[in-house]
Amino acid sequence: MTNPRLPIHAAHGTALTARSWQTEAALRMLRNNLDPQVAERPEELVVYGGTGKAARNWEAYDALVAELTELADDETLLVQSGKPIGVLRTHEWAPRVLIANSNLVGDWANWEEFRRLEQAGLTMYGQMTAGSWIYIGTQGILQGTFETFAAVADKISTSSITDGGGSSTDGHGTITGGRGSITDGHGSITDAHGTLAGTITLTAGLGGMGGAQPLAVTMNGGVVICIEVDQSRIERRIAHRYLDVQATSLDHALELAVAARDERRPLSIGVLGNAAELLPRLLAQEAPIDIVTDQTSAHDPLSYLPVGIEFADWRASAARDPEWFTEQARASMAAHVEAMVGFADRGAEVFDYGNSIRDEARKGGYQRAFDFPGFVPAYIRPLFCEGKGPFRWAALSGDPADIAATDAAVLELFPENERLRTWITMAQERVEFQGLPARICWLGLGERHLAGLKFNEMVRDGVLKAPIVIGRDHLDCGSVASPYRETESMADGSDAIADWPLLNALVNTASGASWVSIHHGGGVGMGRSIHAGQVCVADGTELAAQKLERVLTNDPAMGVLRHRDAGYRRAVEVGTAFGLRPEVEQG
């Protein structure tokens, strides 16, 4: 039957549909998550990640909309796994919405129990920013992916990249130059630190998260081959300018990649196929691959297509026999990861990009699955020690001019940050807005609150047409416990301690965030992560300014505290500089 609610779009402009901008923001962002430009399957309430939903079911969605429309500024809406379960009187400093998604008690925190409860209509999977209503499309992950590949470029720029056994050549070869200026109208990076020019990256997955990979690689000057089983995703990424071209076959993809590599020309190439088949094939033919990663939905075996099952039969097969399908998916992931390890053995830079494919491959019988690292310990942790992470904002006016104005404000606030300038300039040139216009950049402790206060002033002074909603990814410095991703290989062995995201949510609630969430699972799957999110609204008022200063200081401070406690010297230095006390000697 036709769903009369579809298509869903966030309201634009300055007219309120709720009782205040604090609740209007939550209502617009909920709807924005389900905009057809943003969501993977809005007809099923799925935003991204294969199963990450914005609301549990359509009845719950309708109730959320109704309650947000009527919610007062001294009331708080409680949401349990996508379903509104109560409105309580609180106060104006309290969050307007508190959200908990997918949380299960330890011994029950597995896919089998979760699916039983989900089938009974008692829970839903919220991913990270789907169930907390702050997903902004593929751009939301793009900047973090850009930072990751920039760090890869920095690492490999100090040595030459070989072609799988041979010596480097000028066409393939030594990585020189780096990040700094924009050339060729493609947003490639050329002369500061590292560059991916002259390299070929191999990856898979072009969904809501993985779709950021091709643009992140080309922004760093490289060539990338992206394998995807879903033709519509390839077409979507090309339409949104995240992907340049589609190859007609694997051999064609490699031909295009080598030609672009030899010209040191950025190029992203999509190819239709199953990574568990195509990666081993490329390895066997000694393809000149320099960097390998993956962003398929491997965290949930039912969202990974096994070899031997047709794409058209995927859903029906998974629903018919989930246990058998899981076994098949894990066997395919084992083959997939075995090929990744094979590339690592040949000298390629190989890393897990946070989707739990290594653990699923281990469960599929492959014993060397953890022979390559996750991206956080390999490249990102030094940023976390400074409280840096993905700071994002959306223009509730719906007017791209508001984002252009905030871009300019951010660059004016931080004139010495060349990487930030490079990113913002590239994003303006290359990033297609999805749903409400939005931006993301990595800012840290001592920076985020300045941006929030500036935005609030711009709203107050009429420079912006409507308020700005400010949030972040849950993939952040102090809001996640995830031993296969954000907290992998912590210096003190505290990878699995989940106190930190819980404290993060409590701190943001106490500091005046507009809505706060605690989720389980995220992009790594059930039993593997606890993470928290916060969102604030810059509505131009003095009260908003007070809240923004506290939340946008205390939230990144949690990242510094978390890493200081683990013994990271840089976090100790940053904590001392910002007067974060107490400074307790480690026992």
pLDDT score of 162: 40
Q: How far apart are CA 247 and CA 252, in angstroms?
A: 6
Query: Pairing mode, if any, of strands 530-538 and 515-520?
Result: antiparallel
Tokens of 231: 């033709």
Q: Would you call 188 helix, strand, or coil by DSSP?
A: strand
pLDDT score of 587: 55
pLDDT score of 211: 92
Give helix then strand counts, H and E, for the chain: 19, 19
pLDDT score of 133: 98
pLDDT score of 187: 35
pLDDT score of 208: 82
178 within 8 A of 193, measured Cβ to Cβ: yes
Q: How far apart are CA 544 and CA 541, in angstroms?
A: 5
Query: Pairing mode, if any, of strands 515-520 and 97-101?
Result: parallel
pLDDT score of 174: 29
| pTM of the shown model | 0.88
571 within 8 A of 492, measured Cβ to Cβ: no
**Residue type at 135 in one-letter notation:** Y
Q: How far apart are CA 261 and CA 255, in angstroms?
A: 10
Q: Would you call 19 helix, strand, or coil by DSSP?
A: coil
- Active-site hit among 226, 385, 441, 477: 441
Neighbours of 36 (CB within 10 A): 15
Closest CA to 374 of 389, 388, 354: 354
267 within 8 A of 254, measured Cβ to Cβ: no
Whether 477 is catalytic is: no
Closest CA to 549 of 457, 411, 474: 457
Q: How does pLDDT run along the chain (587 residues), one tens digit per residue?
A: 799 999 999 999 999 999 999 999 999 999 999 999 999 999 999 999 889 999 999 999 999 999 999 999 999 999 999 999 999 999 999 999 999 999 999 999 999 999 999 999 999 999 999 999 999 998 988 888 998 999 999 998 755 444 433 333 333 332 233 333 333 333 333 334 689 999 999 999 999 889 999 999 999 999 999 999 999 999 999 998 999 999 999 999 999 999 999 999 999 999 999 999 999 999 999 999 999 999 999 999 999 999 999 999 999 999 999 999 999 999 999 999 999 999 999 999 999 998 999 999 999 999 999 999 999 999 999 999 999 999 999 999 999 999 999 999 999 999 999 989 989 999 999 898 999 999 999 999 999 999 999 999 999 999 999 999 999 998 899 999 999 999 999 999 999 999 999 999 999 999 999 999 999 999 899 999 999 999 999 999 999 999 999 999 999 999 999 999 999 999 999 999 999 999 877 65
DSSP per position, 287-325: ----EE---SSTTSGGGSPPTTS-GGGHHHHHHH-HHHH
Question: How wide is the angle at C-alpha 73 spanned by C-alphas 67 and 74, nearest 5°?
Answer: 100
